[in-house]
Amino acid sequence: MIETIGVVGSGTMGIGIAQIAAQNKHQVVLHDHSEKQLSKAKEGLDKIMKRLVEKGRITESERKEINNRILFTSNMGDLWPCGLVIEAIVENITIKHEVFKKLEEIVSDHCILASNTSSLSIASIGAALNKSERIIGIHFFNPAPLMPLVEIIPSIQSSKNTSDSAKELITSWGKTVVICKDTPGFIVNRVARPFYGEALRIYEEGIADFATIDWALKELGGFRMGPFTLMDYIGNDVNFAVTESVFKAFFYDPRFKPSFTQKRYSEAGFYGRKSGRGYYHYKNEELNSKANKNKVLGQSILDRIVCLLINEAIDAVFMGVATTKDVDLAMTKGVNYPKGLLQWGDEIGLEVVLKRLQDLFDYYGDDRYRPNPLLRRMVAKKKKFYS
């Protein structure tokens, strides 16, 4: 039983993970080298806890107990009693290596060392350790206390005991856990790429504007946000950086090719909501165009993007990244898709999905539309993902 949880990095993700652990009755050591950031994190957590009391989610005594379980410290040595330490710092492999080397000198030989990275390989992070069998990826989604999904990523170094212990602990916190192979983007950030990339491609071809594409995905497809609204919410700089990272990590596979439109918007500082302008104007919303609510056009946009998403989900199963169940769980619980993509493929008809992809591939001659071999095999054998 792991009693004390360590968190390195007191940004939004770090404080969220600390909150979850403390609410689950663990002692928590939250470390950051910056006293200023620690002070900001403590104030932020106090506000969140008071809001939970106001909403009746916790009592005042529970709030005090949760706060008292967290030690905010700039001294990394205070992490010594931890049975698990989760790193949630900047996505820079050199800095992560430095942190993990220091951690290994402080914690016991039995302490599990985890990274919350969303884009770096767990194997590369674990390479800095003398006992690399203790490394694991534990990827939360923002905001960590609210989002149910956690991706657990064993590396080729991770021991079975490390993987099993991490899964057992995170499941005990009430999270939906999916296990995925240590490949670029894991499940969610890999499978979701066409949601953004194909929407941008449709725009660049002049088929529809931002508002129309968003309308089609939200109103006809049931997605909570359209791709351009979501990119503005995430931040174009952040989303573009992830796209570039995945593209490079996949050895420049055309399926993950970034968009010049997103690159230019990012270069211009049109990051989205946080900058006041992205694909939409937020300071003067009257400047935004109105959606063309032509259902035939909207359905064609939806079909194109959804089929590419399904193809990417099938590829994740084909390449052994995760099981059918875990891929669908990841997309519904991690990014709130209206239904699992493999389930959606069954409902549309895998033969229909294959035909739409093949038509796109024949028309464009672009590898981004190549149907996955598993899709071809299942159609040939008249199989479904769910019986």
Give the domain extent around 371: 188-387
Residue 5 binned pLDDT confidence (cut-offs 50, 70, 90)? very high
Q: Can you tell me the distance from the alpha carbon of 179 to that of 167, in angstroms, rounded to the nearest whole number?
A: 8
Query: What number is the average pLDDT over the span 4-13?
Result: 96
Decide if pLDDT at 238 tops 90. no
Q: Which of 10, 115, 118, 372 is catalytic?
A: 118
Q: Which of 116, 139, 198, 312 is catalytic?
A: 139
Length of the chain in residues, anyone? 387
Decide if pLDDT at 342 tops 90. yes
CB 283 within 8 A of CB 276: yes
Q: Is 189 a catalytic residue?
A: yes
Q: What is the CATH number of the domain that holds 367?
A: 1.10.1040.50
Q: Is 151 a catalytic residue?
A: yes
Phi-psi region of 272 (alpha: psi -120 to 50; beta: other; left: phi over 0): left
Determine the pLDDT at residue 198.
98
Kindly state whether residues 267 and 351 are assigned to the same domain: yes
Q: Is 372 a catalytic residue?
A: no
Q: Which of 87, 104, 151, 312 is catalytic?
A: 151
Q: Which of 189, 239, 259, 266 is catalytic?
A: 189
pLDDT tens digits, one per residue of 274-292: 999 999 999 999 999 999 9
pLDDT tens digits, one per residue of 301-337: 999 999 999 999 999 999 999 999 999 999 999 999 9
Decide if pLDDT at 1 tops 90. no
Q: Can you tell me the distance from the alpha carbon of 354 to that of 204, in angstroms, rounded to the nearest whole number?
A: 24
Which residue, chain included where needed, has tokens 């019986």? 387
Query: What number is the average pLDDT over the span 98-113?
Result: 97
Domain termination site, one of 153, 179, 205: 179
Kindly state whether residues 109 and 227 are assigned to the same domain: no
- The percent of residues above 90 in pLDDT, for the chain, comes to 97
pLDDT tens digits, one per residue of 125-154: 999 999 999 999 999 998 999 999 999 999
Determine the pLDDT at residue 119.
81
Kindly state whether residues 109 and 129 are assigned to the same domain: yes
Q: Is 139 a catalytic residue?
A: yes
Domain termination site, one of 128, 148, 179: 179
Query: What number is the average pLDDT over the span 375-382?
Result: 98
Kindly state whether residues 34 and 172 are assigned to the same domain: yes
Lowest model confidence (mean pLDDT) among 90-104, 237-251, 346-360 = 237-251
Across the chain, mean pLDDT equals 96
CA atoms within 13 A on the CB side of 264: 6
Which residue, chain included where needed, has tokens 């990827």? 139
Domain termination site, one of 159, 179, 199: 179
Kindly state whether residues 140 and 247 are assigned to the same domain: no
Kindly state whether residues 20 and 121 are assigned to the same domain: yes
Kindly state whether residues 170 and 227 are assigned to the same domain: no
Determine the pLDDT at residue 322.
98
Domain count of the fold of the chain: 2
Kindly state whether residues 10 and 71 are assigned to the same domain: yes
Q: What is the CATH number of the domain that holds 88?
A: 3.40.50.720
